[in-house]
Chains A and B, each alone.
Chain A
Amino acid sequence: MSDFLQLGSPNERPRAPRLDELDLKFSDQALAELDELYSHYPDKKSCILPGLWIAQREYGGYLNGEAIAEVAYHLKRSYAEVEGVATFYSMYNTVHAVGKHMIEVCTCLSCQVCGAYPVAEYLKKKLGVGFGETTEDGVFTLHEVECLNACDRAPVLQVGSSYHGPVDEKSIDALLENLRAQEESTVIQMANDIVKVQTGPLKSK
């Protein structure tokens, strides 16, 4: 938890970026998606969550200060407000940068009963990192998560948009192998999938 209680030394305190210093990174596609979002909601405040997903994709999977500031800039909200929203939800990566693939191990009740801890230990050993850490080559980040709502497949891992389970040491080896071979980052892929749903055609009406 002390990970989260972030009060640094006041001398190292950053200064809020001024508008003219913001290095805006959103691509044309992202801007078009934002425009699409505006038409889905009554006001720009409502676009904070989907806007953050766009940012998560555009900024390579990690919402750092600049990413949050850029969302706030486009949506005309205060930086603090957008950061508050982003840090509230655990699927936005705001605490530290993540690797190309994020492996999330469910250690909640059903998975635990079905052997989530040995699975987690195996992953830790294999990757050489603990929870919340990224491998040195920057490919894998390991996370512990609460119930993924897939207890029927316990023990379950989430990687990007897909669930894998039940897993054992063999299937984990195969999974890691596949992920290593994969060019595209599943973290970004997942953000993109979500953005696509959110900017897609409105179902009702």
Chain B
Amino acid sequence: MATVAATDTVNIVINDVDLQVPKGELVVEAVKRLGHEIPIFCYHPRMKPVGMCRMCLVEVGFKQPDGSVRKMPKPQAGCTLPVSEGMVIYTDTEMVHRDRKGVLEFLLINHPLDCPVCDRGGECPLQNNTIFYGPSTSRYIDIKRHAPKAFPLSEYVTLDLERCIQCGRCVRFTEEISGDAQLAFRFRGAAMQPSTFKLTDFDSKFSGNVIEICPVGALTSSKYRFRARPWDLETSEGLCLECGNGCNVWLDHRAAKLVRVNGRTNEAINEEWTCDKGKFGHDYYNSSKRLTQPLRREGDRFVPVSWGEAYAEIAAHLGAKSAALVGSTVSNEGLFCLQKLFKDGFGSENIDHRWTRTLPAAGERVAKRHESSIASLEHKKTVLVFGADLANSQPIVHLRVRKGWFLNETRVVVAHSQTTDADSFANLLLSCKPGSLDDLAMGLERAVAEAQKTDVQGFASFKDTEKTTSVKESALREVAAMLLEGNASIVCTASIYNENKPVETLAALAKIAAATGAEFNVYAEGGNDEGAMALGVMTGRNTHEILQDCAMGDLNALWLVGADPLTLHPSRRLAEDALEAVPFLVYQGLLECEAMGYASIVLPMEAPGEHDGTYTNIEGRVQRMQQAVKNPGDGKPAWRVFSELLVRIKPGRPSFSAKEIMDEIAATHPAFAEATYDKLEKEGTPLKPVIENFYM
């Protein structure tokens, strides 16, 4: 137990043990300090208590001046009762056990008890509590309530209404955490059912979480339904790389096949949530389109070759006039080895991993991309979300910002030309005309400057700003005032580079941040994009230039590392021309894709959960994911391909493991100094802030 200042604690007794706990702590939390447990259903530590299920009943009394204990006549719900001075709590008396038995008997009246065919069987709180505290038989002989089984609430969530014990966790989740308020209880009594409006689709970006928090098997995953029993599953600690947030997940696998992804607690990042992209977007692991062996083009078909043959072919074709385009799920180790291979092996520096419309040159890049950690966002007084659709591109950041708004009175300002999910709770909405974010940023800069009475020469007048952006002067001034109150954070994402004049926009925002003392963030978008930036992967020609060079015939070879320009690049025309024209194309990836049609050599890649590696999330936190499942074919992790090829071109000492490479990264990149495998912390290690910005 952490030591707490004496004034804020109260003395209580739990099961005859005296202890001090913070004032106002809930009884259900306080008993955890002794390692005791109160059974619960509806209570969830991350949501407000509602006291709906009565499972948590305990006996409570108060110390009297004469030393005796006066018990309350009725049991109390531990999940809604805060501790107070002199409170005496019993969690293990006969009365408590009788009450628990009674509550469970009631809950089971309408429950179908179909555990043998229930997905939750084996990891079900209702099952566990019944075994520990419940009656062994039922006295209920009437007909149970029946409802249709397996009703699909959405593509991902299937509702088995009969099993629902009406705890309200799912309903509260959509109200308190995800904020889309998609679920509500309809009707009442035994007919009460968690449901969407008129049974429409459960349309949420976070719907998968309700499956995990449902204490029974009422909400099940449509994708995992009947795929495995929990006791057949093995699980590994994994990371989600669908976006750059770096959520911690459990990768549950059975017979070497990934079958389920669940949220894993990391207080610094995702708490325990996941978004639906991460939870359900893992089809590629078991896809029939997985590449399983190296292929070489012969005429208009591919023939399988050995890795050695593939390497020889590549070594023969790649040289100084080659380039690489990288996707967002390559590990830090992979990126580092790729860079080394190109520099030392081919003598080329043309590597890029960015796919936005504007690609700022080194000098124009924002130096600090993540001043606010994800966790800190919930304690800000003001958060200005500028030109970012957080729910889509940074789902976990979105949840944090909303949490701040919901619990800590964070004021949220959303400035965007499109509607976003955050609009629904924004305290102030600056919705500007499409393409006018740059003017809006300048307008805001002027408002801040005026509020601080500094020189406003050279700025557009508020009238002009209103004309171009449709945002009023008063709104801008209000935001400026909010930022100036301190403890503010400005949140942008790399998607701003798809807008007009992003460099100017970001410069204006950076100035605003400097003037107001606000923290400034331009979060990266893809899985390990922040890692690529921190490692300084792009040094030579940028993505657009590389593709143009290919199209013009200035490059002899292009290597696609887990990236398909045809879908990623904003101009499909250019991507097509480039792939068409480049004489030698290497496609290295997980799945068959369109770009593969242009390739001379195809290399199978291992998915992130199939090998050891570290990834850097948007806030510069380096986390390691170990191998969870085996590659279905002959795939190799990207780093191994690069380093094996390098020793063939330039004989030297090869790297044998990801760990060795990380040591090398730590030795050469000051920011990664603390990120070696033996030093990595459980929650991930934040990059060391480096004064001299080596990647600029």
Which of A1, A68, A69, A84 is in CB contact (< 8 Å) with B191? A1
Would you call A1 and B145 a contact (CB within 8 A)? yes
Would you call A68 and B197 a contact (CB within 8 A)? yes
Interface centre among A5, A65, A80 (most CB of B within 10 A): A80
Would you call B198 and A5 a contact (CB within 8 A)? no
Of chain A, the residue at the smallest CB distance from B182 is A80
- The reply to whether the CB of B152 lies closer than 8 angstroms to some CB of chain A is yes
Given A5-B161, A7-B161: A80 and B145 interface contact (C-beta under 8 Å): no
Would you call B198 and A14 a contact (CB within 8 A)? yes
Would you call B197 and A78 a contact (CB within 8 A)? yes
- Which residues of B in the span 12-40 have a Cβ within 8 Å of any Cβ on A? none
A-B contact pairs, 21 of them (CB 8 A): A4-B191, A5-B145, A5-B148, A5-B193, A6-B199, A7-B151, A7-B159, A7-B161, A13-B199, A14-B198, A14-B200, A16-B201, A68-B198, A69-B197, A78-B181, A79-B197, A80-B183, A80-B184, A84-B184, A88-B186, A88-B187
Which of A5, A13, A81 is in CB contact (< 8 Å) with B147? A5
A170 to B161, alpha carbons, bound, how many Å? 46
- The reply to whether the CB of B203 lies closer than 8 angstroms to some CB of chain A is yes
Which residues of A are found within 8 Å of B161, using beta-carbon distances? 5, 7
A78 to B180, alpha carbons, bound, how many Å? 8
Which residues of A are found within 8 Å of B180, using beta-carbon distances? 78
Which residues of B are found within 8 Å of A79, using beta-carbon distances? 197-198, 200
Given A10-B151, A78-B180: A84 and B145 interface contact (C-beta under 8 Å): no
A4 to B159, alpha carbons, bound, how many Å? 16
A87 to B198, alpha carbons, bound, how many Å? 11
- The reply to whether the CB of B190 lies closer than 8 angstroms to some CB of chain A is yes
A2 to B182, alpha carbons, bound, how many Å? 23
A59 CB to nearest B CB, Å: 15
Which residues of A are found within 8 Å of B201, using beta-carbon distances? 13, 15-16
A53 to B608, alpha carbons, bound, how many Å? 55
- The reply to whether the CB of B521 lies closer than 8 angstroms to some CB of chain A is no
Of chain A, the residue at the smallest CB distance from B188 is A88
Would you call B200 and A13 a contact (CB within 8 A)? yes
Query: Interface digits, B172-212 against A, CB 8 Å rule (1 contact, 0 not)?
Result: 00110000111111111011010111111101000000000
- Which residues of A in the span 1-23 have a Cβ within 8 Å of any Cβ on B? 1-2, 4-8, 10, 13-16
Would you call A84 and B151 a contact (CB within 8 A)? no
Given A84-B186, A87-B186, A87-B187: A8 and B199 interface contact (C-beta under 8 Å): yes
Which of A2, A7, A81, A85 is in CB contact (< 8 Å) with B199? A7
Would you call B197 and A16 a contact (CB within 8 A)? yes
Interface centre among A7, A15, A77 (most CB of B within 10 A): A7
- Which residues of A in the span 63-92 have a Cβ within 8 Å of any Cβ on B? 65, 68-69, 77-81, 83-85, 87-88
A87 to B544, alpha carbons, bound, how many Å? 57
B74 CB to nearest A CB, Å: 26
Known: A4-B187, A6-B199, A80-B182. 20 other contacts (CB 8 A): A1-B191, A5-B161, A6-B186, A6-B193, A7-B151, A7-B199, A13-B199, A14-B198, A14-B199, A15-B200, A16-B196, A16-B201, A69-B197, A80-B174, A80-B184, A81-B175, A83-B184, A84-B171, A85-B184, A87-B187
A153 CB to nearest B CB, Å: 27
Q: Number of residues in B with C-beta < 8 Å to the partner?
A: 31
Of chain A, the residue at the smallest CB distance from B200 is A16
Of chain A, the residue at the smallest CB distance from B149 is A7
A4 to B145, alpha carbons, bound, how many Å? 11
A131 CB to nearest B CB, Å: 16
A5 to B147, alpha carbons, bound, how many Å? 7
Which residues of B are found within 8 Å of A6, using beta-carbon distances? 186, 193, 195, 199
Which residues of B are found within 8 Å of A1, using beta-carbon distances? 145, 190-191
Would you call A84 and B185 a contact (CB within 8 A)? yes
Of chain B, the residue at the smallest CB distance from A84 is B184
> What's the count of A-B pairs with C-beta under 8 Å?
82
Which residues of A are found within 8 Å of B184, using beta-carbon distances? 78, 80-81, 83-85
A6 to B195, alpha carbons, bound, how many Å? 10
Given A78-B180, A80-B182: A7 and B147 interface contact (C-beta under 8 Å): yes
A166 CB to nearest B CB, Å: 30
Would you call A81 and B181 a contact (CB within 8 A)? yes
9 nearest interchain CB pairs? A84-B184, A78-B181, A79-B197, A4-B191, A80-B184, A16-B200, A80-B197, A87-B186, A7-B151
Would you call B185 and A88 a contact (CB within 8 A)? yes
A96 to B269, alpha carbons, bound, how many Å? 47
A143 to B198, alpha carbons, bound, how many Å? 23
- Where the two chains meet, the residues of B that have a C-beta atom closer than 8 Å to any C-beta of A are 145-148, 151-152, 159, 161, 171, 174-175, 180-188, 190-191, 193, 195-201, 203
Which residues of B are found within 8 Å of A83, using beta-carbon distances? 184, 186, 197-198
Which residues of A are found within 8 Å of B199, using beta-carbon distances? 6-8, 13-14
B394 CB to nearest A CB, Å: 23
A124 to B201, alpha carbons, bound, how many Å? 39
Of chain B, the residue at the smallest CB distance from A86 is B186
B437 CB to nearest A CB, Å: 24
Of chain A, the residue at the smallest CB distance from B193 is A5
Query: Interface digits, A80-122 against B, CB 8 Å rule (1 contact, 0 not)?
Result: 1101110110000000000000000000000000000000000
Would you call A16 and B203 a contact (CB within 8 A)? yes
A119 CB to nearest B CB, Å: 26
Of chain A, the residue at the smallest CB distance from B185 is A84
Which residues of A are found within 8 Å of B159, using beta-carbon distances? 7
A97 CB to nearest B CB, Å: 15
A78 to B178, alpha carbons, bound, how many Å? 13
A88 to B152, alpha carbons, bound, how many Å? 23
Of chain A, the residue at the smallest CB distance from B145 is A1
Which residues of A are found within 8 Å of B147, using beta-carbon distances? 5, 7
Of chain B, the residue at the smallest CB distance from A72 is B197
Which residues of B are found within 8 Å of A5, using beta-carbon distances? 145-148, 161, 191, 193
A106 to B657, alpha carbons, bound, how many Å? 79
B639 CB to nearest A CB, Å: 45
Which residues of A are found within 8 Å of B197, using beta-carbon distances? 16, 65, 68-69, 78-80, 83
Would you call B181 and A77 a contact (CB within 8 A)? yes
Which residues of B are found within 8 Å of A88, using beta-carbon distances? 185-188
A2 CB to nearest B CB, Å: 8
Of chain A, the residue at the smallest CB distance from B197 is A79
A88 to B201, alpha carbons, bound, how many Å? 21
B460 CB to nearest A CB, Å: 33
Interface centre among A68, A77, A78, A85 (most CB of B within 10 A): A78
Which of B146, B152, B181, B198 is in CB contact (< 8 Å) with A65? B198
A12 CB to nearest B CB, Å: 9
Which residues of A are found within 8 Å of B145, using beta-carbon distances? 1, 5
Which residues of A are found within 8 Å of B203, using beta-carbon distances? 16
Interface centre among B180, B195, B203 (most CB of A within 10 A): B195
A124 CB to nearest B CB, Å: 24
Of chain B, the residue at the smallest CB distance from A2 is B146
Which residues of B are found within 8 Å of A65, using beta-carbon distances? 197-198
B176 CB to nearest A CB, Å: 12
Would you call B196 and A80 a contact (CB within 8 A)? yes
Which residues of A are found within 8 Å of B198, using beta-carbon distances? 14, 16, 65, 68, 79, 83
Of chain A, the residue at the smallest CB distance from B158 is A10
Interface centre among B174, B183, B187, B201 (most CB of A within 10 A): B187
Of chain B, the residue at the smallest CB distance from A5 is B147
Which residues of A are found within 8 Å of B195, using beta-carbon distances? 6, 80
A7 to B149, alpha carbons, bound, how many Å? 9
